[in-house]
Structure 1
Amino acid sequence: MVAWPPPQLDTWLRRKQEHLNVRGFGAPHLNLRAPFQTPLRSEALIGACREALTGQEAFGVRLRGWRRVPGIFFLECEPGEAIRDLHRRLLEVGPSSRGPHDGDGYRPHLTLALGVLPWAEDELWAAVQALTPPLEEFTVQALTLTREERGEVQELHTFPLGGAQEDAGED
């Protein structure tokens, strides 16, 4: 389950990736839970997610700044109560596997670079630290259930938040 950044931030991140010759996995996105495996078929999974998102209002995301772990550079997001609560509820969807970055290890973020080689990390990190995102916060108005298919991120279903009467997508 992901939230897409607003167009201004999405375009900026893609341009910086192009300029730095780096990539994340798929288009820039904010995972609300780590990728998971489930025996549920698509329609059952969509229904379970719809139930978990019942009453979910649009929420704000505040950017904290650049962070790095070995091989990965990312724009960390403030782990506010709305995001943490949503993450906890989405972990209940299942049966499903849990990733090592779920639960207490969850760090909301937008990945800039994935798979950075050790010999390039320090030089690239210096360039990344000099980057200033075009905004400091944004509002998430929809969440999208995605799946990985042959190395590509595919949108399975989109759930509008905060007062939208119907959700959209392919059932």
Structure 2
Amino acid sequence: MVAWPPEALDTWLRRLQLRLNVRGFGLPHLNLRAPFHTTLSSPDLVAACRGVLRGQEALTVQVLGWKRVPSMFFLECALGDDLHALHERTLSIGPSSQARHDGAAYRPHLTLALGVLPWAEEELWAEIEGLTPPLNSFRVEALSLTREWRGEVQELHTFPLVGAGLPLPQKEAAPS
């Protein structure tokens, strides 16, 4: 279960990945829970997710800044009360496995680079530590149920959240 960052942040992260010749797992995304295994069929899994997410309000995620752990570089996001509660709700989807990065170890983030070799870590850190993302927060108005397929993230179903507003039509500019 993931949230996609808004276009400005997504584009910025992808361009940075290209410039630095690094990759995360699939397109930039915020895991609401780590990938899991389940015996549920796809339709039953979608129904279970729909039940768990019923009434879920849209929420704002704060981007804190760059962090790194061995072989991984990411933008850390704040684990506010709303995001923590949503993470806990997603853990009830099942039956399903639970990854070691869920529960108390959940650390919301947007991955810039995975699999960075030890000899390249300091050089990569020097490139990114002073960079400021184009946004310091973003609104999550939908969640996507995803699966891994051949090393990429595939979207199975999208769940709009309560209070997710559709953009209002823009007034057209008069010709000049």
TM-score interval, normalised by the smaller of the two chains: over 0.9
Counterpart mapping for 1:74-93 below 5 A: 74-93=74-93
Q: CA deviation at 1:153?
A: 1.1
Q: CA deviation at 1:145?
A: 0.2
Structure-1 separation of matches of 2:150 and 2:30: 21
Counterpart of 1:36 in structure 2 is 36
Structure-1 separation of matches of 2:135 and 2:15: 15
Q: CA deviation at 1:142?
A: 0.3
Amino acid at match of 1:4: W
Q: Please, what TM-score do these two structures have when normalized by structure 2?
A: 0.92
Structure-1 separation of matches of 2:129 and 2:80: 23
Counterpart of 1:162 in structure 2 is 162
Counterpart mapping for 1:98-109 below 5 A: 98-109=98-109
Counterpart of 2:172 in structure 1 is none
Q: CA deviation at 1:163?
A: 4.1
Structure 1 gaps, min length 5: 165-171
Structure-2 separation of matches of 1:163 and 1:7: 20
Percent of residue pairs identical? 68
Counterpart of 2:96 in structure 1 is 96
Counterpart of 2:20 in structure 1 is 20
Amino acid at match of 2:31: N
Amino acid at match of 1:112: L
Structure 2 gaps, min length 5: 165-176
Classify the secondary structure of the residue corresponding to 1:9.
Answer: helix
Classify the secondary structure of the residue corresponding to 1:127.
Answer: helix
Structure-1 separation of matches of 2:87 and 2:162: 17
Structure-2 separation of matches of 1:37 and 1:135: 33
Structure-2 separation of matches of 1:142 and 1:162: 9
* Pair member with larger Rg: 2
Counterpart of 1:169 in structure 2 is none
